[in-house]
Structure 1
Amino acid sequence: MDDDRDLTDFARRWAEAERRGDIAALEALLTDDFTAVGPQGFVLDKKQWIDRYASGALIHDSFTWEEVTVRRHGRAAVAVGVQGQQSIYDGRDADGHFRVTQMIVADGAQWRLAAVHLSPTGCRSGLEDD
């Protein structure tokens, strides 16, 4: 767990599991108390996150995880990157690019995703003058 290659491998496995909607892989990659905050502020727990795939509601044609920076903090890490997706959710277009913050924690000898927060890219911060 001292090698940053473990975190790089975790990121690759997570993105691949999301792209494929791989329920078994996501079960193993997410902590039991996983929490997600979606791009419109909704909150999902682990079961709800995975159920989007199990129900067939979420299908990705493309899923990328790029521009990632990782900061280690002992047995935890914070990853910030850009998630791109070409997707359908519940029959509607769900394409987009999102700035994503992940909280990754060491669980024994494995890294697991404890929390994720998605924000649409290109949104104004509210600090600019109109």
Structure 2
Amino acid sequence: MDDDRGLADFARRWTEAERLGDVAALDALLTDDFTAVGPHGFVLDKKQWIDRYASGALIHDDFTWEEVTVRRHGRAAIAVGVQGQQSIYDGRDADGHFRVTQMIVADGADWKLAAVHLSPTACRPGPEA
């Protein structure tokens, strides 16, 4: 596995799956023991993360993953970046920018997301931030 190319491909596939709310793709991209810490401190497991899309509660008009830095640690990697979204959650505006930390682990020839932590930020990506 070409790790750098594989991680770049993982980031592209994850961003697209989140933007589209692609339940099947997210199921394949997340580890079975995936854990998310949301921007207000709540914790979701894999099923709860995916169910936000399956139920139709979360819809993105736009979803970006920018200013990403990746540090490799053997068969794992930590990615830190800025997630931007124009979204509706449960009928309410859920637009925002979040500083995100991802823990990505090698699973055979693939990379999978094991954990994610979102922190709200007023900063938009780019040099003017």
Tell me the TM-score range normalised by the shorter chain. over 0.9
Give the match for residue 41 of structure 1. Answer: 41
In the TM superposition, 1:61-100 aligns within 5 A as: 61-100=61-100
Deviations 1:64-117, CA, capped at 9 Å, x for gaps: 000000000000000000000000000000000000000000011100000000
Q: Note the residue ranges of structure 2 that are not aligned, 5 or more in a row.
A: 124-129
Higher CA-based Rg = 1
Deviations 1:48-73 (A, max 9, x none): 00000000000000000000000000
What SS does structure 2 have at the residue aligned with 1:16?
Answer: helix
| Percent of aligned pairs with the same amino acid | 90
1:38 CA drift (Å): 0.2
Q: How does 1:1-130 map to 2 (within 5 A)?
A: 1-122=1-122
3-state SS of paired residue (1:49): helix
Cα drift, residue 2 of structure 1 = 4.1
Hey, which bits of structure 1, 4+ residues long, moved more than 4 A?
Answer: none
What secondary structure sits across from 1:112 in the alignment?
Answer: strand
Return the TM-score normalized by structure 2.
Answer: 0.93
Query: Is the partner of 1:40 in helix, strand or coil?
Result: coil
Tell me how many residue pairs correspond in the alignment.
Answer: 123
1:3 deviates by 2.9
TM-score, normalising length from structure 1? 0.93
Aligned-pair RMSD on alpha carbons? Answer: 1.0
1-side partners of 2:101 and 2:7: how far apart? 14
Q: Distance in 2 between matches of 1:55 and 1:32?
A: 20
